[in-house]
Structure 1
Amino acid sequence: MLPVYMDHLLCPTLTDEQFATEVHHINGEGEDAGVVYCEMQDYESDISQLVSWKCKELFYPDKCSYRVETGGRLENLRSSCTNEKVRHFHRRFYDPCNMTVIVCGQINHEQVLAAVESVEERILQDPQRSEIRRNFVRPFRSP
């Protein structure tokens, strides 16, 4: 399963129809909808989350990753999130140079390494990814 999971993370195939269903769309009643949107809507109505976000804004500087809400904010999901932006984000940040694979339990090390290597070799040979990797800047590290 590890190569399948890694391939899913490194080479997503999110179609426009899947994006609308999973992330955001306007339903037949003119309301915002989508799995991610509804999850974030619940999240943003939770008082403990609102307090946590405010604390993070006060405690951490602007470029600190601890300050960021990784699931997105409703306003951004409504106004600026597109499938193309999601694809671009994946191409830029979901790469072996920015990943750590953690496998727990009793394992056969050779099998795990062979599984990772099968995906990694294909990814490392992609010319578009090598360009991104050459110019890669870890998120929240640049001024």
Structure 2
Amino acid sequence: MRTITKLIYPLFIFLGSLTMLAACSDDDGDNLALAGTYTLTEESVTGCIDVANNGTEAKGCTATDCETLTISGDGTFSVIEIDNGVTTTESGTYSTNGNQITFTKLSGTTPDSDVATFALSGSSLILTFAEDSDSCVKVETYMRAN
């Protein structure tokens, strides 16, 4: 009987430890999968009330025009845009819930959030934003740069 107790006690300790490790799973899986630097390759707008706002534009990087999105595994992001040689940078935090991503940046002292659905396919990241004010749906396609 004493031998069985000596075997069962370590088994319970092992199983308890294993259960605790499983409970401490990585909740940042989406953050790590999204982490990287992406270059905007295409932007399309559809469904606008004013149909003149609809359209698709191929994008690429040149010395005077480029947009890159960097998503870090720690929940931060930055967007660097070069438009006609003028560089602007925005940064903030992001969070994911399923296939939804919320980008939050500070505009002055007020947080400004944009919500999109995302899809990762190979080296492509596709962000789909629904614009409530004019019913437009904007789709941005990025290619992973690193």
TM superposition score category, shorter chain reference: under 0.3
Q: Which has the higher contact order (CA 8 A, sep 6+)?
A: 1
TM-score by length of 2: 0.22
Q: Which has the larger radius of gyration?
A: 2
TM-score by length of 1: 0.23
Which structure's residues are more often strand, by fraction? 2
Which structure's residues are more often helix, by fraction? 1
